[in-house]
Structure 1
Amino acid sequence: MRIAQLANFVGPASGGMKTAVQTLGAGYAAAGVPRLLVVPGPRDRRTATEHGDVVQLRAPRVGGGYRLIVEPWRVGEVLEQFAPTSVEVSDKATLWPVAHWARRRGVRSVLFSHERLDAMLSLRTGREVGGPGITAPVSVLNRVLARSFDEIVVTSDFARRELQQVAGAAGTTLHRVALGVDLETFTPPDDRAGRGAVLRLVHAGRLSREKSPHLAVGAAVELHRRGVPVRLDVYGTGPHRDELVALAAEAPVTFHGHVAGRRALAERLGRADVALSVCPGETFGLAVLEALACGTPVVTASYGGARELVDDVCGAWGRPGAGDLADAVLALAARPEHVVRSAARARAEVFGWDRTVHDMLAVHAGLRPAARDVPAAGAPAGRTA
């Protein structure tokens, strides 16, 4: 087996997708599978790493720290040299033509669907999922993707529901493979203080509209308005930082910017009382697992992939509005601290990266991943589309 991973990401702005692609690549290499990673960059470059070569292709910047490979035929030239038995594509915008290259050569093609298109467009445009301007273009692209790839991998039931019908119609196998969390880096701090007079909240993520940081800040503002002693620490950068600062106004919200180092982020997550990871369009929610692994309970939206990761002991949820999310924070904070922190860590331990790598290797081999006994988080409430 020889696996080529293709992804349109560059820099710290790429968040969960970058973590997933790189961690899977390290897992493939550890299993003895030759692996190549192709990503965009400011110039052409090839670098040898312990996890296989990384080929950077010159690509234009499209804003917000992202670059996009817009010449997929150049990817084909790189793949010809590597001769993969399987290609894993983690982008739906410009890399899907690689699936046709793979089909012509008898190479297995796997789409790793990291986002749900209708939810992402809804968050970016403010239009309702299923409304005008969302359904038609998303349906067309999803049909094209389903017909192009041999296998599609999704990370949650929320993500699966978007693609299940078109994949079935195209005869394309749809797999659900949960992502994992680094349980050694993200771990409860030894010197964590217990709850004090001020409720310590934390939000970590990209400050862009499709990640819904406005909901996290809005919940903190609402708690402050109600007279609850609260503090929200926000870690991350993004194009909507100024909007969020204005939204916070006089509320005790501190924007710390990007945190250098995952262990440093883990320490900050672990010292909070409640983590806010409230985007209703997330297809999985690595930020949820990272907080839980640090023993910090999580409030999330009442629908979306992130909701599937928390149960009613280690987390709480509310409809995506400041008032409902503030209520969820108070309900979670009222539970016994030692119970929720222990439950949070236990929940995260279900999602080790080793099982994700094992399942993805099965997909690349043309097999179905083994059924996993994962304790259910409970049926998500609200929207199911």
Structure 2
Amino acid sequence: MSLRIVRLANFVTPVSGGLRTALHHLGAGYLAAGHRPVLVVPGPQHRDEETDQGRVITLPGRRVPGMGGYRVLLDRPALADLLSVLRPDRLEVSDRTTLRWTGGWAGRHGVPAAMVSHESLDGVLRAWGLGESAARRTADRLNRGTARDYSAVICTTAWAAAEFHRIGARNVVRAPLGVDLERCHPRQRNAAARNHYARPGEVLLVLCSRLSTEKRPERALDAVAELRRRGVPAVLVVAGEGPLRARMEARVRAERLPVRLVGHIGSADALAALLASADAVLAPGPIETFGLAALEALACGTPVVVSASSALPQIVGDAGQTAADTGPGFADAVQRLLAGTESDRRHRARARAEQYGWDRAVAGFLAAHRIPQHVQGVMA
């Protein structure tokens, strides 16, 4: 039995990172399991194509000011009409804000629907400037509506699930994301990639992130400045785009920081080579619920320094270091990390990542959709 799994997502562009990666691998996994995945995303114009992750439909979406090219699906009648034509057997939604209404549509049409929690809602609200108590109250109100309107709320970590557990939601399902263990591999490490960014004896750090406020990318600049002040010959490569790029470039010039902002790296192999060739990867985002870029670094054999406020300490375990949310805090964690032997920290990184293959993630998401084992085809 083949099920049509329609997936809706906003904030996806050709240069976006973790969400786009997750959508691609989950869709490919559903397709391999014998289902018919359909992904609906916003874009500048209408497109409808068959891909290796199943059918992908792009609807015209409005550009969000100040968010580096992100678009959202705001035409509810057009999207509702498309859903009626597609007649999904399951609905999977990856936007907890502007697409929350689709849970009600699914309920009226008898379609089991799941909301995927890719972010901490109260964390996002705090990043947008709301006070802690107001953010919590607003998040709790919105999360109660989500839990009511969807058959399941899929959370990738216990950290992500916590804000639903605190309101007593009973339909929370845990399912991890994954990493491409073949493409992201220690063998991607090579001298040419490293020498392109760092001289002999320098400590090569990498930040792979969207350059937006909630990701706190400027904390990586704080960390490298502090390390240099301490006499550590650290250099930093920033891979990613976003609305903060111009401000970060101006600071790098003004302070003469040893930092290169290289933008979005379109080649998956080139990005893996950079991650594999670094001494450490920084993940300063305090509201990350999973951290795919950090997991890709681990799969490449490179340890990660992560924010103590995020879900990443659960993901990284003993394959990295947890840092206080300050520049000096990240500098401390980098120095603790480098105090160990290189072979040990690289072995720990790869071993940790091997617990998170995409096959496990796909099986977890299909189970969250309550698709019986005999329906899961090759995933059974």
TM-score over 0.5 for the pair: yes
CA distance in 2, matches of 1:269, 1:221: 21
The alignment partner of 1:259 has SS state of coil
Q: Deviations over 1:269-306 (max 9, x none)?
A: 11110111121110110011010011111111112111
Give 1:13 deviation, angstroms: 4.2
Q: Is the 8 A contact 1:181 1:290 kept in 2?
A: yes
Count of residue pairs brought into register by the alignment: 361
Q: Deviations over 1:242-281 (max 9, x none)?
A: 2222333212111111111111100001111011112111
CA distance in 2, matches of 1:45, 1:318: 43
CA distance in 1, matches of 2:248, 2:314: 27
User: Is 1:149 aligned to residue 154 of structure 2?
Assistant: no
Q: Single out whichever of 133-142 and 295-304 deviates more from structure 2.
A: 133-142
Q: Is the 8 A contact 2:156 2:289 kept in 1?
A: yes
CA distance in 2, matches of 1:239, 1:199: 27
Which letter does structure 2 place at the counterpart of 1:159? A
Which residue is equivalent to 2:290? Answer: 284
CA distance in 2, matches of 1:351, 1:147: 30
Give 1:18 deviation, angstroms: 1.2
Distance 1:50 1:243, change over 3 A: closer
Which letter does structure 2 place at the counterpart of 1:341? R
Distance 1:230 1:283, change over 3 A: same
Match of 1:68 among 67, 72, 85: 72
Give 1:328 deviation, angstroms: 0.5
Which letter does structure 2 place at the counterpart of 1:5? R
Give 1:49 deviation, angstroms: 2.6
Give 1:155 deviation, angstroms: 0.9
Q: Is the 8 A contact 1:108 1:364 kept in 2?
A: yes
Which letter does structure 1 place at the counterpart of 2:39? L
CA distance in 2, matches of 1:259, 1:244: 18
CA distance in 2, matches of 1:246, 1:98: 42
Match of 1:261 among 262, 267, 271: 267
Which residue is equivalent to 2:102? Answer: 98
Which residue is equivalent to 1:3? Answer: 5
Give 1:12 deviation, angstroms: 3.2
Which residue is equivalent to 1:303? Answer: 309
CA distance in 2, matches of 1:318, 1:59: 38
State the Cα RMSD in Å.
1.9
Give 1:20 deviation, angstroms: 0.7
User: Is 1:27 aligned to residue 29 of structure 2?
Assistant: yes
Q: Deviations over 1:69-90 (max 9, x none)?
A: 1122322211222221110000
Which letter does structure 2 place at the counterpart of 1:182? D
Q: Single out whichever of 75-84 and 104-113 deviates more from structure 2.
A: 75-84
CA distance in 1, matches of 2:341, 2:37: 46
Q: Is the 8 A contact 1:300 1:316 kept in 2?
A: yes
Which residue is equivalent to 1:57? Answer: 59
**Which residues in structure 2 correspond to 1:320-331 (within 5 Å)?**
320-331=325-336
CA distance in 2, matches of 1:246, 1:50: 40
Unaligned runs of 5+ in 1: 369-385
TM-score, normalized by length of structure 1?
0.89
Q: Larger relative contact order (C-alpha < 8 A, sep ≥ 6)?
A: 2
Q: Deviations over 1:120-152 (max 9, x none)?
A: 222232x55x33x41232222111111111100
Q: Is the 8 A contact 1:146 1:166 kept in 2?
A: no
Which residue is equivalent to 1:38? Answer: 40
User: Is 1:250 aligned to residue 251 of structure 2?
Assistant: no
**Which residues in structure 2 correspond to 1:337-376 (within 5 Å)?**
337-365=342-370
Q: Is the 8 A contact 1:37 1:52 kept in 2?
A: yes
Unaligned runs of 5+ in 2: 374-380
Which residue is equivalent to 1:382? Answer: none
Which letter does structure 2 place at the counterpart of 1:151? A
Q: Deviations over 1:160-190 (max 9, x none)?
A: 111113352xxx4101111100111111135
Which residue is equivalent to 2:378? Answer: none
Which residue is equivalent to 1:176? Answer: 174
Q: Deviations over 1:2-47 (max 9, x none)?
A: 2100001332343111111111011000100011111111222222
Q: Is the 8 A contact 1:316 1:329 kept in 2?
A: yes
Distance 1:352 1:75, change over 3 A: same
Which residue is equivalent to 2:91? Answer: 87
The alignment partner of 2:103 has SS state of helix
Distance 1:187 1:205, change over 3 A: same
Q: Is the 8 A contact 1:13 1:238 kept in 2?
A: no
Q: Is the 8 A contact 2:189 2:276 kept in 1?
A: no
Give 1:366 deviation, angstroms: 5.5
Give 1:191 deviation, angstroms: 5.3
Distance 1:241 1:53, change over 3 A: same
CA distance in 2, matches of 1:367, 1:280: 36
Q: Is the 8 A contact 1:146 1:167 kept in 2?
A: no
4+ aligned runs moved over 3 Å, structure 1:
189-196
CA distance in 2, matches of 1:91, 1:271: 34
CA distance in 1, matches of 2:242, 2:87: 38
Distance 1:145 1:54, change over 3 A: same
CA distance in 2, matches of 1:135, 1:191: 43
**Which residues in structure 2 correspond to 1:199-214 (within 5 Å)?**
199-214=203-218
The alignment partner of 2:56 has SS state of strand
Identity %: 42
Which residue is equivalent to 1:374? Answer: none
Which letter does structure 1 place at the counterpart of 2:25? T
